[in-house]
Amino acid sequence: MTRTASRIAALLATVAATAAAHATTVAQRRFGQLPDGTAIAAVTLTNTAGMRVTILTLGASVQSVIVPDRAGHFADVALGYPDIAGYVAKPNFFGATVGRVANRIAKGRFTLDGKSYAVPLSDGPNSLHGGTKGFDKVAWQLVSTAAGPTATVVLRYVSPDGDQGYPGILTTTATYALDEAGALSVDYRATTDRPTIVNLSNHTYWNLSGEGSANGAMGERLTIPAEAYSPTDATAIPTGEFRAVAGTAFDFRTPRVIGDRVRDATDPQLRYGRGYDHNWVVSRTRTAAPRLMARVEDPASGRVLEILSDQPGIQFYSGNFLDGTIVGKAGHLYREGDAIVLEPQMFPDTPNHPEFGSVRLAPGQTYANRIVFRFSIAPAH
């Protein structure tokens, strides 16, 4: 081998070693099985900074997200269960992919192309997150995993025609990816063989001080860059109004401590849901690329979560119905206000509100929702 060839070989070896040192990894294990015997897998994505994310094939769900704080201490910031039993007994949408239609459909009814459809009531008089057996409660197929500069896992679910009352065979994929910069993304894609409606989102409960921690999530500072929100009736169905946030408890255009006004009983909107459970109107239409939908900062730990998406709305739920009857992964009870949910999506009950836009999907089209959960550390104030 010539001296030049030797140098090239050495250089290539150095490049390969450097790439390997900065490669994310993927590990798979059995998580348990459903009552019908279906096996559920857990796939863990890890980057070289030590951030670890575990995804379940049940509900294409985020089971854990382990990230460092300002002092370098790691904690799991996503609520969930340590084993399959909890997800079966009391799922609560922990970390789940929700659909076919996330959020609520008034009275479980909608009209599509002149035909009326009824879907199961699962939230009082309304349908919530796809019905009584939505995408969160089914086993998704593990399609592929990959390591490298970005660790990925691809999951697929084929929802049959008539599933929970929805028309058309809907083929959905959820691609989770973890990069070296501390960003976890999920790309939802769906196609159909006949006209239907689709509105997917992710329902992870976040507590940046650590799931089950005594601090809860009400001391975290939230920013939502929205000029308006969607007021609702007493059953959490939007009235159709786009109400300005200015001068209200819904104004998060600048960072605000969540707990400052979450129990403001003078606002009937907060009385309806025992806190926040509303859609913020970040824009009126989808965008070509993800943009900032919300930012959460935990002053104590320094952890920061930025949520980006190409959707026009984000549902903010302040964990109002966590009632202390759920024991989470660290053996702590989950109580009211112990976590928050931020779901980028189309507006709730869009099928019954033409002024909101459309969630109609036709053959030949591809539904898409890209969500990015970007983690970082804020300096001490």
Which 8-state DSSP code applies to residue 73? -
Classify strands 243-244 and 228-230 as parallel, antiparallel or unpaired. antiparallel
Largest CA distance in the chain: 82
Pairwise CA distance, residues 339 & 117, whole Å: 34
Pairwise CA distance, residues 290 & 312, whole Å: 10
Least Cα distance to 237 among 100, 111, 356 occurs for 356
Contacts of residue 133, Cβ cutoff 8 Å, sequence gap at least 6: 120, 164
Half-sphere exposure of 194 (CA within 13 A, CB side): 10
Pairwise CA distance, residues 241 & 231, whole Å: 7
Least Cα distance to 35 among 140, 162, 156, 138 occurs for 138
Classify strands 96-98 and 74-76 as parallel, antiparallel or unpaired. unpaired
Choice among 211, 297, 336, 343 that is catalytic: 343
Please work out, in degrees rounded to the nearest 5, the angle formed at the alpha carbon of residue 18 by the alpha carbons of 16 and 23. Answer: 90
Least Cα distance to 235 among 271, 192, 263 occurs for 271
Give catalytic status of residue 180 as yes or no: no
* Residue 210 one-letter amino acid: G
Decide if 345 contacts 35 (C-beta within 8 A): no
Classify strands 74-76 and 109-112 as parallel, antiparallel or unpaired. unpaired
Using DSSP's 3-state secondary structure scheme, residue 174 falls into strand
Task: Judge if the upstream peptide bond of residue 370 is cis by omega within 30 degrees of 0.
Answer: no
* Residue 172 one-letter amino acid: T
Give catalytic status of residue 22 as yes or no: no
* Residue 211 one-letter amino acid: E
Classify strands 367-377 and 303-309 as parallel, antiparallel or unpaired. antiparallel
Length of the chain counted residue by residue:
381
Decide if 137 contacts 59 (C-beta within 8 A): yes
Choice among 22, 129, 203, 336 that is catalytic: 203
The residues that are catalytic are 203, 343
